[in-house]
Chain A
Amino acid sequence: MRAIQYAAPSTVEDAVAILAEHGSDARMLAGGTDLIVQVREDARDTGVFVDAKKIPELMDLSVNADGSTTLGAAVPCHELYNNAQFAASYPAVVDAARIIGSTGIQGRASVGGNLCNSGPAGDTIPPLIVHSAVCNIAGPDGKRTVAVEDFCTAPGRNVLADGELLVSLTLPKPPAGSGSHYLRFIPRNEMDIAVVGAGASLVLDGESITAARISLGAVAPTPLFVQAAGDALIGLTADEDSFAVAADIARDAASPIDDMRGTIAHRKQLSYVLTQRALRGARAHAQGGSPTNGH
């Protein structure tokens, strides 16, 4: 029988010290909806659980002076969709927060945890990417920032070194005329992991697109920022023809595998279809409507 240790530091500094002492044997515990399951299933060997929820910075959700938002790494999903201001500013993130697990899971599961789990299909990661979110990381050598699209390095792996933790995410203030949407394809209507996920953000000046970002989940070893697809939209009218151009680029950028959740051919097709649908949703939001969340 293996004994485990549980630590509940109240400062980032203490958390860093504990993580540094135990190296890869230690792991931050936010909602635990991934970590505890993985340890129980022998998929991860963790000896020291460092609870994130007693550290104020990790539970913080607030708007900064420059209009950006700080999202603490352990803030659970339900706080996001119950926060009207956050929901209005970052609709794609809220789309993801609403479809991760059940209501009960959403009471514990956090966006930061989802990012640190670094699964290719993590639902909140494409939305963070399309909102240009930045990771605020603390470690033995001090603080650093990393763009979310550069955070994940391989399935289950990321840029965090031993002793480092994700403190929070900074989401820039969305410009006027912007909208975003995230959706995923799952074979059932609930309790499933994305076969493909797609997030899109648009900034519109009338009918014209002035900025766009597109990101795909579950089609590569890490969530994919398809910069070329967004760039191709700049200056175009926000219509079906334009969206088809971006969707073509997204399909070409996807490099999925065959596994128990989907096939290469199906994931390529879904990359195209979901990119179109995410863009339609983002446009609807930018124009003040609410996107239809068709699977």
Chain B
Amino acid sequence: MAVDTRVGQTIKHHDEEYKVIGTRPIRHDGLEKVTGEARYGSDINLPGQLHGKVLRSPHAHARIVSIDTSRAEALDGVRAVITSAAFPDPGDKLTGGGEAPGLPLKFKSANMLARGKVHYHGHAIAAVAAANPHVAAEALKLIDVEYEVLDPVLEVWDAMKSDAPVIIEDLYTARADGTTAEEPSNVAAEMLYEVGDVDAGFAEADLVVDREFTFGVVHQGYIETHNATAHWLKDGHLHVWCSSQGAFTIRQELADLLDHPITKIHVVPMEIGGGFGGKTTAYLEPLAALLSRQTGHPIKMAMDRADVLKATGPTPGGYVRVKLGVTNDGMITAGYANLAFDAGGYPGSVVGAGCRCVFAPYNMPNAKVEGFDVVVNKPKTHAYRAPGATHAEFASETVVDEICRTLDIDPVEFRLKNSAKEGDWQLAMPPYPRIGHIECMEAARDSAQWQTPLETAPGKKRGRGIASGFWFNIGFTSSVTAKLNSDGSVTLLEGSTDIGGTRTSIAMQFAETLGISVEDVDPIVADTDSVGQTDVTGGSRVTFATGLAAHNAANDMKDQIVEGLADLWDVAADSISHADGTFSANGKSATVGEAAGLLEEEGVFPIGKNTVTPTREGGAFAVHIADVEVDEETGKVEVLRYTAVQDAGVAIYPPYVEGQMQGGVVQGVGWALNEEYVYDDDGHLLNASLLDYRMPTALDVPNIETIIVEVPNPGHPYGVRGVGEVPIVPPPAAMANAIHDATGVRMSHLPMSPARVQAALAAEA
């Protein structure tokens, strides 16, 4: 029998045996996605719909002196033109919902349509509704905007200078000690995390390595561009169809931004062509809603690729400094890190998450981490797969590698000796529960790649690198409603946008719990009117949290079936046992299917439901190994071989876990080698296309070998840990360490583009 090389290795650290969990059934959404029948946002077409388009700023930083829309409004076929004046005054309200609630609503509102000032190149200025997209595009050219162009501030190190132009005139730093700065600046917030005595720790060290790293802005690069269709009915009901990671989040944002009752807003999640954290907030939805209210027609809007790159939420560029102290025998005594991330045009970067992850793989008795959230003239940044952790751990894992080289300690041994484990300190969080970093490192050490010496080739510079990664994952709120049909099948409604195949991983947990086959569960991603509160698909939370809701809903359904059978069989409910999907008591028995039929005759139709906000998400570790070849003459880096090891807790549907691991590696390799926003001195984004924003192609990555490690999460009945994000964390560091192994050069900027690698090699020579 031929070996299926698509199936990776799994190493279990538990004895649980499951019937459904861990199997590889055909995914529920597979057929309609490969046939093209699956419906995405742009497939929505409503009778009488108009088309909306957005005018964007040609400047990075400017005051809007005036906007005259009269020529556009006069164009035949134009039905409405709106500017920021169409939005209600946000006052001092704060945002709700989403991944980062509690920021001033005025910033989010001004990011929808610029209010008085342009904060970045591509900032939305006005929106038009017209009979067709061509007229709408023509109308944009007839909107007259007078700008007073201002000097842009593009990098955090410039924006933090005391004489830097202040982008938001009334922004006062929220300091780590709870006080507020008296003078406005571009620093929105400072944060400080501390444990132990960092000065004493460094004093104990025999070796201190202190390095600085910088980062370009990168985009999530989802293939489907943002789109939204909105219909505002005369009675105030607003229906929205969109591509988003969270329908409930969009509903909350629309309620906030439009000051409209949440009960009147109905958001339908469509299939999604990727999000990776970038589709956790609204862009077009409020504009389509306002244009619909104004015209009385449904409004359809879609971004093109340039809009997406210019004006959605890439993840920050910035600066990270990491300083580590170790003893000569390789024990870490202290760590210090300083992270400054660009928030983009408005406050709220992911720097806090980066701060919490920077030293996470290690047991570190003394640590201090400072973070700075800095406003610059770039698009408002957002989450991207383990947001902030990739930057932070690129820095710390590079420093760890340098320490290992300096002390001549094996990088696996160093990490095993210093690894965080259950009960150890965790920055700004409770001590670690059972975690699997050591098990991942051992699996990496024992992997085929690590055990196979790197093949040398004459005239080629080859090297191997290893790096760890951590992401804490999140819980948030999820709901499931499951209806037992009379034939024993189950219709399962859940509210989590299915990005990574979660429909099936949720259905599998339900099926396991109730004792039925996964083919008998029909999972449906429901709209905001049809299922309970469900937060955004993000933080690697869905298989964990919505899966937990499914488990609980299955138990709820089981209890209802037991109650119904108890009446029918005239026995006490607690005398009915349930095993392998069969209920039995007193010599009587019924499968779930039989029970459904019996109960139907009695007029009983069980509906299992659950809403849950779990907090024991567990955290996820990964260890990656990269083999690279560096062309010394051109600086080009080729990935020769790659192994990704990851603690999945328990892999509910292993092919999705392997797919997440491989997808994270591909994005991480892109970030490591080529992806970067390129700006000119005036703050214009020069590479707003997928030709020049260079994501990897299929020819740029090898087959990625996967090893799933199962150290069950004690915070979940099936041991689930989120798996979607952590695999993007180790690749840049693993690649940098491999480049160093190949050439002796340490790279300190992402991406490590051919030009930068070649320049570093030339400088070394």
| A binding-site residues for B, Cβ under 8 Å | 1-2, 41, 185, 187-193, 195, 259-263, 265-266, 269-270, 273, 295
Contacts and interface: CB of A to CB of B under 8 A. Distances in A.
B692 A261 contact: yes
Interface in B253-270: none
B714 to A, nearest CB: 43
A266 B755 contact: yes
Contacts of B631: 295
5 contacts: A1-B138, A188-B694, A189-B700, A191-B691, A295-B636
Given A1-B138, A260-B686, A261-B692, A187 B758 contact: no
Contacts of B138: 1-2
Contact of B636 (A185, A191, A193, A263): A185
B697 to A, nearest CB: 5
Contacts of A185: 634, 636, 754
Given A193-B691, A266-B754, A295-B631, A187 B636 contact: yes
A273 B635 CA distance: 11
Contacts of A259: 686
A41 B304 CA distance: 10
B687 interface: yes
A259 to B, nearest CB: 7
A260 B699 contact: no
Contacts of A41: 306
A190 B138 CA distance: 35
B134 A1 contact: yes
A261 B134 CA distance: 32
A65 to B, nearest CB: 43
Contacts of B100: none
A295 B700 CA distance: 13
Interface string B133-148: 0110010000000000
A295 to B, nearest CB: 6
Nearest to B759: A265
A269 B758 contact: yes
B82 interface: no
Interface size class of B (residues with CB under 8 A): 20 to 34
Name the residue among A190, A191, A295 with the largest chain B CB count within 10 angstroms. A191
A266 B633 contact: no
Contact of B758 (A1, A188, A266): A266
Q: Which 8 A-B pairs have the closest CB atoms?
A: A266-B755, A189-B699, A260-B678, A260-B686, A260-B687, A273-B633, A1-B134, A263-B755
Contacts of B700: 188-190
B696 interface: yes
A187 B674 contact: yes
A191 B634 CA distance: 18
A195 B700 CA distance: 17
B634 A295 contact: yes
Contacts of B306: 41
Given A259-B686, A266-B754, A192 B634 contact: no
Contacts of A269: 633-634, 758, 762
Contacts, number: 63
A172 B306 CA distance: 44
B642 to A, nearest CB: 15
Tell me what chain A mostly uses at the interface: helix, strand, loop, or mixed: loop
A104 to B, nearest CB: 15
Interface in B647-698: 673-674, 678, 686-687, 691-692, 694, 696-698
A198 B685 CA distance: 29
B292 to A, nearest CB: 23
A85 B696 CA distance: 36
Contacts of B759: 263, 265-266
B69 interface: no
B753 interface: yes
A118 B631 CA distance: 30
A176 B512 CA distance: 75
Contacts of A187: 636, 673-674, 694, 753-754
Nearest to A272: B633
Contacts of B135: 1
Contacts of A192: 691, 694
A188 B306 CA distance: 21
B390 to A, nearest CB: 20
A277 to B, nearest CB: 9
Given A191-B691, A295-B634, 17 more contacts: A185-B634, A187-B694, A187-B753, A188-B696, A188-B697, A188-B699, A189-B700, A190-B697, A190-B699, A191-B697, A195-B754, A259-B686, A260-B686, A262-B755, A263-B759, A265-B755, A266-B755
B378 to A, nearest CB: 15
A195 B756 CA distance: 14
Contacts of B762: 265, 269
A185 B755 CA distance: 11
A195 B687 CA distance: 14
Nearest to B670: A188
B691 A273 contact: no
A186 to B, nearest CB: 9
Contacts of A273: 633-634
A260 B678 CA distance: 6
Nearest to A262: B755
Contacts of B678: 260
Interface string B114-150: 0000000000000000001011001000000000000
A188 B674 contact: yes
Interface in B271-324: 306
A295 B759 CA distance: 17
B507 to A, nearest CB: 37
A86 B609 CA distance: 71
B388 to A, nearest CB: 26
A266 B699 contact: no
A160 to B, nearest CB: 26
Interface in B741-765: 753-755, 758-759, 762
Contacts of A193: 691-692
A17 B192 CA distance: 74
Given A188-B700, A269-B762, A260 B754 contact: no
Contacts of A266: 635, 754-755, 758-759
A73 to B, nearest CB: 25
A142 B699 CA distance: 48
Interface string B188-232: 000000000000000000000000000000000000000000000
Interface string B698-716: 1110000000000000000
B382 to A, nearest CB: 23
Contacts of B754: 185, 187, 195, 266
Contacts of B692: 193, 260-261
